Structure formats: C-alpha cells, structure tokens
C-alpha cells in the first residue's frame, strides 16, 4: 500500500526524511527490522506509519510513561486511534483503551516493558489481533548500557509467542550493542538492518575548558534567553544550586534528579513539555522520555560519561530540525570523577577498559584539533563529513608540535612500569621530590625534572590530550594506572610525531556564537505565532509543540502563508491540524481570514483546490446561461468538489457525475477547465 497519502494527510509532511521511506516499507511489509537512526531523525514515524497501513494492532514498547503519553496525544491530535496502558492512566483512560480494543478501532497500543511480566498481558495480546511489535529505545536491552531495563529481555519471547514481525529502533547503538539487540530481540537471526547517518547538521557543537563554570553556563544561557534548554550536571546537588543561580539571573529554571519525589519529577516533565523558554538543570535521569522537539540548546556543566552519552544528550536539542546549540564544559576534576565511576563499577575488567576507551574518545572530541563533527562522526564510522557548525570551524585552534612533551610523558610511564597515574608522573616530569617519588627512587630516573618547561596545569592538559588521542588508558586492574596503547609506541620510538592544541587549560575559550532562529525581520512574527500556540495549548492542556513545533512556526514566519492553501503546504500542517488551527494562525499572519466553504477547506493545499476555484468561477459565469437570460442554476459545493477530485474528461462521464440538467449548462465548460489543467 502507498504510504505517501498517510504521510501528508496524517502527519502533514510532503516527503520522507532521508532513509525513512525504506524503513517504513520494510516494517510495513512485515520484515523483522532494526533501525539505528539519529535522535530527531524521525524514528517514531517509521513505526507509526506502518501501523496505519497494516491490519490489526501495533504494540509499541517504550521505556517511559511520559514519552508514551506524549506520542499518544500527538497521534490523537492527528486523527489516529492510539492508546496506552500505563500505571499513570486514569480509570477513564484505561476504559477508553479497552473499549477501542474491543471495537477493533485501536491502531497503536503503547505499553511499558514491565507490563510484559504479567501473564495476563500475554493472553490479552493474543486476543487482540496484534500484527506488529515496535520497540522504541531498543538499546535498553543491553545489560551493559546505562539505560538497561531488565524487562526488555522479555520482548524476544513475546515476539516468538505472538509470531509477528518486530521492528526495533534506537539512536545510540555501537556495534557491540547492536549485536546484543539481535541476540536478545531476534534470537540471533539478523533482521533487515538500517544504519542511518549519525549526523545532526542543525546542531552546533562546542566545548570549553572550565574557567568559572557557573558563569560560563550563565553567559551561555543569557545569550539564549527565552529559549528552551537543558543543562546537564554530574551531581544532584549541582542541579539545585545551578538552577537557583539561573533563576537569580532572571531565567525560568527548575532542577530535576533521581532523588526527587516521583510526583515532583512528573511535574517538572509536564512543565517543561508545555512551556516555552523553560530551562531544566538535570542529571542524566532527565531526557530519554522527553519528546520535546523544540529544545534549542543543551549545555553540559560537567563532562558526560562517554561519547555515546554525549551524543544521546546533545541529541535532545533541535529535534525539529531547526538550529540548536550545545556547549560542553570540561576540566581535570570531571575526568577524575568519570574515571572513578568506571573503576568503582561492578563491570568486569574488560568492560571497564572499554568504558575508559569510550571516555578517551570523548576527550579526543573535547581536545580535537579540527572539526568536532568529523571527530564525532568518525567515532561512529562516518568519514565523509562536511561541517560549518562547530566552534573549531568557527575559529580553528592554535596547535603545536607536541612530540617532545608526549615522548617525555610516555617515557616516564614506561620507566615506572606503567603503575602510576598522571599526578605522580607529572611530579617526576616537574622534578618534584615528593615522599612518593623518594620512596620509589624515581628521582634517579632520566626523566626526573625534564619537563620544567611546562607547569602542572599545562602537563595536565598534555596528559588529557594524550588520552584523547588514545595513547594511554587507565588500567582497571592497576587502579587507574596509565598504560600505553599500541598507538603510542611509534611516538615513543621517535618514528611518528603528534600535534597538540596549545594550552587548552590556561585560557578558556568563549562559547559558540549566537545563532538566531529567524531573521530580525521575521522575529516579531515568530514571537506572535508562539504566543498564539501557547494560548491554544493552554486551552487544551497539551504541550505547545503538540499544536505545532518550532520548525513549522519558523516556516510560517519566513514564508507568511496568505490563505489555507499556502498554509497546507507548510511542513507539519496535516489535514486535521489545518482544519483545527489554520484560521487561528492565518489570523496572526494576515489579520482577517476569508470564510470558505467546508468542502473547499478539505481541498486546501491540493491541486483539486485550485480546480475547485476555477470551476466555481466558470459556474458563476454560466449561472444564467451563456447569454445571461436563463433561469439561475448552480451545483452544490460538494458536487463541485467531486468534479475537482474525479476529473471526468468526456461528456458521458460528466453527465453521470452531474446529471443531465447540470451537464447541459456546465459540462463542456467544466471539461475545458479540467483539460486545461491537465495540459499545464
């Protein structure tokens, strides 16, 4: 079945995003499917659209109630029968879902993985004609991932019991996690797999060394006042203090962390979803369930735990495709804290070594010598990358030949048996005769005191960059002692050189330049459209983006539609939303809105709408006959709409549609209009 009409009529899009159509076809045709798509790449549509095409009910297994409720609300707004069975349901909501299931009208049923533990759930699913299982955030099946949900392990059994195809979606899955998904969800049989590009070209990437980090965050947020944003912090206490600092500086800000009362957390989630311009200062407990497309910026007050975590967290910005910005602060204490988290974890040594390598990859991104986007996407195996949206493309960093100091550091590590961390190695390089140096006789080493051209802070930066280049990794079995990798040995033997950034610790760089969503000329209209959206959302008690997302409003502000036909061509304006909100937003743009017949409204944005107008004009010209003396005659609006849709091009076809009386008066003229339209 052709998916394109659903794409426009239900979801309001004229075309698929890159890669979406192939995934939709595979899922709709019943293939077991695994799709790894970037956050904001439109993965939800890749199971929602096939659910409309396929017979029966599609079960959507999703990890968070807030995410499910938002998607159900959005589908209902678009005219799709969807429901969720969650612990957050009211009795009335649950009853409505059961009634829709009994009536056979429900197309998508959302549920949390924990519900699969109930035997009653399996019996219910066998009764309701399930035709597809869709698994959102499929990486939660990975037992070593930070989002692991044990009940995700039950999904593979459910697939086998129901004997239906399964489509799994995630935005964050390296090769190891992908194999876990195949093993756990598809019983080891590889599904049809789609690995979309990881690039989010609308997101500006920036890092800065901590230099008064609170003020750096305040400055970054201050330059984007009134825009929705998230600040991620490494500790619960910092979320509270930084949120207060933002409020003291005139921002609408609140905090969020796992130690809060569950109802308080739900209140923050709801508040953030429904309000423009709110800043949430949070730990990583916040985000996976936030399906808010118009988050304009994400800042990290502390370094994330890995490059995958970084990618997932910045991916919450700009999901509507409009410009978004990020800033990540980092310093020696962050790295020490992250290393400690890994070393104190319960994972086996090989897993901890892999986690140190992932953190090294993030340090490599933080200390990158050129384009951050190339560095980030290179980690995910993409190398054909162009970028003008990162701080290093905005202003290339100063670089230096770092071969000599790096060789000094590697030599110090090797001569001490690779049993020490950077602090002790720096003491050796600086010639600090500490108790530890004395006890181990390290003052007698050839490398003792050879690094006095650099101070401690500079050496910390050098070691950080060395780990970013993955020349050294902490050894979990040696309590974090630095060990060389194979990549370091050519440098140590003076067979290769290495370039470093100059002193990224001593002088913090400013944050990225501010980018506006629209031109100065269009900014006032965008503000007015947002005010209208907020008012409509508050009337219905739904998040603002459920009405229209930022990207849709930006297109309205830039193109300024003058009628419903123009409005229907705006991305994100489907038939139902056009009918519900079209006049409201047109009135903001052009003032008074022309009242048109309901039959004509249904044709807005289509070629048939233009045909209807031309047929109406021809009819007006012939209402009293060609000579203007006959009895007045006119077709109904529904009949004119039928002519515009069916387009009969011969006399007999027109007679069957209009009847003899109307065909005699208007038939030839209508056929001329239709033929003229066909030829142009």
pLDDT digit string, tens, across residues 589-634: 887 777 777 777 777 877 787 788 888 888 888 878 877 778 888 8
Residue 106 falls inside a structural domain: yes
Residue 508: the pLDDT is 34
Is residue 131 within 8 Å of 164, Cβ to Cβ? yes
Same domain, 60 and 126: yes
Q: Does 257 fall in a domain?
A: yes
Burial of 414 (0-12, 13-18, 19+ CB in 10 A): middle
Domain assignment of residue 618, yes or no: yes
Where a domain ends, among 155, 177, 195? 195
Assess whether 542 and 590 both reside in one domain: yes
User: Does residue 341 sit in the same domain as residue 301?
Assistant: yes
pLDDT at 1: 55
Say what the pLDDT of residue 48 is.
Answer: 95
Q: Residue 177 sits in which domain range? A: 4-195
| Residue ranges of the chain with per-residue pLDDT less than 50 | 505, 508-512
Are 551 and 639 members of one domain? no
Same domain membership, residue 668 and residue 532 = no
Report the distance separating Cα 435 and Cα 425, nearest Å.
13
Residue 517 resides in a domain: no
Count up the domains in the chain and report the number: 5
Residue 64 confidence (pLDDT): 80
Residues paired with residue 390 on neighbouring β-strands, in sequence order? 205
Alpha helices (H) along 591-635: 598-601, 607-621
Alpha-carbon span 264 to 285, nearest angstrom: 13
Q: What is the rounded CA–CA span in Å between residue 498 and residue 471?
A: 11
482 part of a folded domain? yes
H helix or E strand, kind and range, residue 356: helix 349-366
What CATH number is associated with residue 561? Answer: 1.10.150.80
Identify whether residues 157 and 218 lie together within a single domain: no
Give the pLDDT confidence score for residue 291 in this predicted structure: 67
506, part of any domain: no
Which single residue is written with the structure tokens 């970054």? 220
pLDDT of residue 641: 83
- Contact 571/14 with Cβ under 8 angstroms? yes
Contact, 170 vs 185, CB < 8 A? Answer: no
Q: Do residues 63 and 163 both lie within one domain?
A: yes
Give the integer Cα–Cα distance in Å for 267 and 16: 34
Q: What is the pTM of this model?
A: 0.74
Residues 388 and 375 in one domain: yes
Whether residue 207 contacts residue 504, with contact meaning beta carbons closer than 8 Å, is answered with: no
User: How high is the pLDDT of residue 421?
Assistant: 84
Clarify whether residues 542 and 492 are in a common domain: no
**In this structure, are 67 and 132 located in the same domain?**
yes
Listed residues 195, 226, 249: the one ending a domain? 195
Residues 426 and 467 in one domain: yes
Tell whether 511 is covered by a domain. Answer: no
Query: Of the residues 394, 412, 434, which one is the last residue of a structural domain?
Result: 394
Query: CATH code at 355?
Result: 3.40.50.300
Residue 603 and residue 596: Cα distance in Å, rounded? 11
Whether residue 530 sits in one domain with residue 415: no
Residue position matching structure tokens 């890092």: 207
């Amino acid at each position: 079945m052709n998916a394109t009409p659903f794409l426009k009529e239900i979801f309001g899009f004229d075309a698929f995003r890159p890669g979406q159509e192939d995934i939709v076809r595979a899922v709709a045709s019943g293939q077991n499917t695994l799709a790894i798509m970037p956050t904001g790449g439109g993965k939800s549509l890749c199971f929602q659209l096939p659910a409309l095409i396929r017979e029966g009910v599609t079960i959507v297994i999703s990890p968070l109630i807030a995410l499910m409720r938002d998607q159900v609300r959005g589908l209902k707004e678009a005219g799709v029968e969807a429901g969720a069975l969650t612990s957050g349901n009211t009795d009335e909501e649950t009853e409505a879902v059961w009634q829709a299931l009994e009536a056979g009208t429900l197309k998508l049923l959302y549920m949390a993985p924990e519900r699969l533990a109930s035997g009653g759930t399996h019996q219910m699913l066998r009764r309701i004609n399930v035709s597809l299982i869709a698994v959102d955030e499929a990486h939660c099946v990975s037992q070593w991932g930070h989002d692991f949900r044990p009940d995700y392990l039950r999904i593979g059994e459910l697939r086998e019991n129901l004997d239906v195809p399964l489509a799994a979606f995630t935005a964050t899955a390296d090769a190891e996690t992908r194999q876990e998904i195949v093993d756990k969800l598809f019983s080891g049989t590889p599904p049809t797999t789609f690995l979309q590009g990881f690039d989010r070209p609308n997101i500006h990437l920036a890092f800065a060394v901590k230099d008064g980090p609170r003020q750096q965050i305040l400055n970054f947020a201050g330059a984007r006042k009134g825009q929705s944003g998230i600040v991620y912090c490494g500790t619960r206490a910092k979320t509270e203090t930084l949120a207060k600092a933002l409020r003291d500086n005139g921002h609408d800000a609140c905090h969020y962390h796992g130690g809060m009362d569950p109802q308080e957390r739900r209140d923050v989630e709801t508040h953030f979803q429904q309000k423009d311009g709110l800043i949430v200062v949070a730990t990583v407990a916040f985000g996976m369930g936030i399906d808010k497309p118009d988050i304009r910026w994400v800042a990290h007050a502390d370094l994330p735990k890995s490059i995958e975590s970084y990618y997932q967290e910045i991916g919450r910005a700009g999901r509507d495709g409009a410009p978004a910005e990020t800033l990540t602060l980092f310093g020696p204490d962050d790295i020490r804290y992250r290393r400690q988290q890994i070393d104190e974890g319960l994972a086996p040594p090989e897993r901890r070594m892999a986690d140190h390598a992932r953190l090294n990859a993030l340090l490599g991104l933080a200390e990158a010598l050129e384009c951050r986007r190339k560095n980030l996407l290179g980690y995910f195996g993409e190398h054909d990358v162009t970028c003008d949206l990162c701080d290093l493309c905005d202003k290339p960093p100063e670089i230096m030949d770092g071969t000599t100091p790096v060789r000094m550091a590697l030599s110090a590590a090797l001569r001490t048996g690779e049993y020490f961390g950077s602090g002790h190695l720096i003491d050796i390089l600086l010639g600090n005769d500490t108790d530890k140096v004395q006890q181990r006789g390290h003052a007698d080493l050839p490398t003792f005191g050879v690094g006095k051209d650099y101070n401690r802070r500079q050496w910390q930066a050098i070691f950080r960059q060395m780990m970013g280049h993955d020349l050294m990794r902490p050894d979990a079995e040696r309590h974090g002692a630095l060990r060389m990798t194979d990549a370091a040995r050519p440098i140590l033997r003076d067979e290769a050189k290495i370039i470093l950034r100059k002193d990224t610790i001593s002088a913090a760089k400013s944050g990225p330049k501010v980018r506006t969503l629209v031109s100065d000329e269009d900014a006032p209209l965008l503000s007015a459209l947002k005010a209208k959206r907020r008012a409509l959302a508050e009337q219905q008690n739904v998040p603002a983006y459920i009405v229209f997302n930022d990207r849709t409003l930006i297109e309205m502000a830039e193109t300024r539609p003058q009628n419903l036909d123009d409005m229907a061509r705006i991305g994100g304006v489907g038939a139902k939303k056009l009918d519900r909100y079209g006049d409201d937003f047109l009135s903001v743009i052009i003032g008074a809105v022309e009242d048109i017949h309901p039959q004509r409204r249904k044709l807005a944005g289509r070629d048939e709408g233009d045909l209807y107008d031309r047929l109406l004009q021809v009819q007006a010209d012939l209402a009293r006959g060609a000579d203007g003396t006959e009895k007045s005659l006119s077709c109904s609006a529904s009949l004119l709409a039928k002519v515009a849709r069916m387009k009969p091009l011969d006399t007999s076809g027109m007679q069957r549609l209009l009847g003899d009386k109307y065909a005699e008066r208007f038939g030839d003229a209508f056929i001329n209009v239709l033929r003229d339209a066909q030829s142009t």
